Amino acid sequence: MANTTDAAEQRAEERRGASSVQSVDRAVSVLESLARLGEAGVTELADELGVHKSTAFRILGVLENRGLVEQERERGKYFLGAGVLRLAGAAAIRLDISQEGQPVCRALADGTGETANIAVLDGDAAVNIMQARGSAAVTAHNWLGRRTPLHATASGKVLLAHLPRERREALLGRKLPRFTGDTLTAPAAVREQLAAAREDGFACTTEEFETGLNAVAAPVHSYDGTVIGAIGVSGPAYRMAREHLPELAKAAVKAAAELSRRMGYGG
């Protein structure tokens, strides 16, 4: 009897999942149609989707609530909303920092001899979107595409330090995992380092994410002053010893200033 009930529940769950996927597909189709047509009414969009007007109206209502479409009240036509521009802008920023950052990242790696990385915020982690290896970094890790913790990496601390206070505190309010004996997991201690990162213009980590690995990073600014990424170098602690980190931080700050300039920042 239990197996029969479980099978029925599984089939019901699969039907709900299929319905959800279909709804998402239709919502994306609406956005694509509006991108192509410029504007359209409910009837026209229903015909495009091959659905009843009531279904098209429900989809448009959800998209309108999320700011992805807007309605011209007098004529009832729908068009793409500011929410789409916001999403497109976020994607464009990531693309731009990758394109503009390539020569800067390469120059930082060549100048320091260590592995240089550019990272951006990805939810509750930093993700490395570009990497260049210096002459001394022949056995360095491949960080490209890897999500790393905000509280235990130099790039992560930079990104975390420049988040709005409410979001930063929400992230610090979670349990901070320990990766090595040197990982800071007490929120008060992390806050102290984040305040120093904002004041100094860079952040450092010494064996906090991996034993034997040190790093420095500095913030990259967009044209409006928003911190959109971090650029820095990482390497083995025996080469990047604590006493050498301030000098490497200067190189990271200089690279960050150059990349920020390329991103339109004039500060």
Q: Which two tokens stand for residue 3?
A: 């197996």
pTM of this structure:
0.66
Element (H, E) at 148: strand 147-149
| 79 and 153 share one domain | no
Domain ends where: 92, 112, 146? 92
| 103 and 182 share one domain | yes
| 120 and 20 share one domain | no
pLDDT per residue as tens, the chain (267 positions): 555 555 545 554 545 545 667 878 888 888 888 888 888 889 999 998 888 989 888 998 989 888 888 888 777 888 888 777 667 666 656 657 888 899 999 999 999 999 999 999 988 999 998 898 888 765 556 777 888 999 999 999 999 999 999 999 999 999 999 999 999 999 999 999 999 999 999 999 999 999 999 999 999 999 889 999 999 999 999 999 999 999 999 999 999 999 999 888 876
The helix-helix angle for 187-200 and 154-161 (nearest 10°) equals: 80
Query: How many CA atoms are closer than 13 Å to the CA of 202, on its beta-carbon side?
Result: 22
Q: Which two tokens stand for residue 164?
A: 């709005």
For residue 4, is it within any domain? no
204 exposure class (CB count in 10 Å sphere: 0-12, 13-18, 19+): buried
| 115 and 197 share one domain | yes
Domain ends where: 92, 116, 147? 92
Domain ends where: 42, 73, 92? 92
| 87 and 158 share one domain | no
CB atoms within 10 A of CB 149: 18
For residue 117, is it within any domain? yes
For residue 257, is it within any domain? yes
Number of domains in the chain: 2
What CATH number does residue 72 fall under?
A: 1.10.10.10
- 147 lies in which domain range? 94-263
